[in-house]
Chain A
Amino acid sequence: MQTKKEDYNVRQSNGYIIFYAALLTVVCGGLLAFASQALKPAQDANVELARKASILSTVMVLEEGANVNQIYDTRIREIVLDFNGNKVNKKASDVNIGAEYRKKPEERLLPVYEFLSATDSTKVENAVVPVFGFGLWNTISGYIALEADFNTIKGVNYAHVGETPGLGARISSNDIQDRYKGKKIFDGGELVSVVMQKGEGLDYSSDPHKVDGMSGATLTAKGVNNMLKEYFGCYEKYLNAAKSANQQASL
């Protein structure tokens, strides 16, 4: 039988340490891989639910405990377009916005989430489009809901990965997002988007294309501005077509 001292010495040998470290890595890694696989379905369901909730949050106020899946299924019609505004036979849930962002704008698949009227399921009340881009530190993304005139912003929902808390990260707060409500993206027939200004505390309520900035987060605001401009550009043909169809319908 080994004495305690010998046992201790064995534990100090390089071979033992390397073996121990390797074994530990394999065991821990194996356990984590197993946990990750076992929990993946539940996690994916949560991510999907959060996506639906953020789309819906641009057009309506979601009560706590609301059945997001049910509302989404009855009120949202998903369509996927190409750059020219033609429908593509694909499911919007299969389109990865972040992956599409890496392609050239003309080659992107562009999902649109149409929010249907509660009473008339053929009438589109709002169109929600996804946006994606870069903030200061990492990617930012969001959903923009437009009124039936396909010009006025009904609501926005931004998310970010790594913007600075208290500064750029404020884009995901209601306070900032509410500033976009009622702004217009077209000036006559021309696409001008909505631009967040530098500096904070000014009143832009009379200007339909400007929103108040975030103090200390001008670079994140620039990222947001670029993101909006780029994606409204991608959707311009669809928006124009929808706008004129809408005008004819109302005549």
Chain B
Amino acid sequence: MSEVAELVKEEKKAEPLFSKKNRKLISNPLDSDNPITVQVLGICSALAVTTQMVPALFMAGSLLFVTVFSNLFISLMRNTIPSRIRIIVQLAVVSLWVIMVDQLLKAYAYDVWKQLSVFVGLIITNCIVMGRLEAFAMGNKPWPSLLDGLGNGLGYGLILLLVAFFRELLGGGALFGFKVFEAIGIKYQGNGLMLLPAGACIIVGIIIWVQRSLNGYREAH
């Protein structure tokens, strides 16, 4: 019995940091298990902060930071957390990192902070963060949890930037504030719809459509 246990232990020790399983933790949320397009979490901020690339980039970075560190810390604490107050403990840890991000942005990226402050605050209740803590970090070791946070943060950021790319390009004719169409000499009248939340809904919908047809998704009957 103990021999078997030791064997299992040995095997686990030998597992490389980026084993196939661990790599999947990062790659799955980017595509087949994407938090926005598949799990449909975090839609609120995906609609709100994606009119331009810069705020979307900062929002993606902030969420990445929060998911990684919340996942890591909850995983480290997972064996001590009393199950009756586990949601509150998770919330406390998430808010800790969210306020950290908020304060850091206020100190080093003030203009972005003014634009994002509300949404950074709302990361606390962002379903992605809580969902990953409850579904993954509470039951897994720190390293895989960290990777899971990284994967989901990146998956969220990827969609955010993709949506922001189209919205800023089509809505304002620019990318990162750089007037693309003017630079190549095309007169472009910005499409106002793309700047409204409805524009984001349409783009997210198209992304989901493209992704599903690429992955061969079929609605179960």
Residues of A within 8 A of B (CB): 11-12, 16-17, 20-21, 24-25, 28, 31-32, 35-36, 39, 42-43, 46-47, 49-50
Contact = CB atoms under 8 A, between A and B. Distances in A.
A42 B107 contact: yes
Contacts of A39: 103-104, 106-107
A46 B106 contact: yes
Interface in B76-115: 80-85, 88-89, 92-93, 95-96, 99-100, 103-104, 106-108, 110, 114
Contact of A20 (B82, B99, B103, B107): B82
Given A11-B80, A21-B88, A32 B108 contact: no
Main DSSP-derived SS at the B contact region: helix
Q: Which 5 residue pairs across A and B have the least CB separation, nearest first?
A: A46-B110, A42-B107, A39-B107, A17-B82, A28-B96
Contacts of A43: 103, 106-107, 110
Contacts, number: 53
A39 B107 CA distance: 6
Contact of A28 (B92, B103, B107, B108): B92
B84 A32 contact: no
Contact of B107 (A12, A24, A46): A46
A16 B89 CA distance: 13
A35 B104 CA distance: 9
Interface residues of B, number: 21
Main DSSP-derived SS at the A contact region: helix
Interface of B: 80-85, 88-89, 92-93, 95-96, 99-100, 103-104, 106-108, 110, 114
B197 to A, nearest CB: 11
B85 A17 contact: yes
Contacts of A50: 110, 114
26 contacts: A11-B81, A17-B82, A20-B80, A20-B81, A20-B82, A20-B85, A20-B89, A24-B92, A28-B93, A28-B95, A28-B96, A31-B100, A32-B96, A32-B100, A35-B99, A36-B103, A39-B103, A39-B106, A39-B107, A42-B107, A42-B108, A43-B103, A43-B107, A43-B110, A46-B107, A46-B110
Given A32-B99, A35-B100, A39-B106, A11 B92 contact: no
Nearest to B109: A46
Contact of B84 (A12, A24, A36): A12
B107 A31 contact: no
Nearest to A49: B110
Given A12-B82, A35-B103, 9 more contacts: A12-B84, A17-B84, A20-B85, A28-B92, A28-B96, A31-B100, A35-B99, A36-B103, A43-B107
A20 B92 CA distance: 12
Nearest to B89: A24
A38 to B, nearest CB: 9
A117 to B, nearest CB: 30
B86 to A, nearest CB: 10
A36 B100 CA distance: 8
Of B81, B100, B103, chain A has the most CB atoms within 10 Å of the CB of: B103
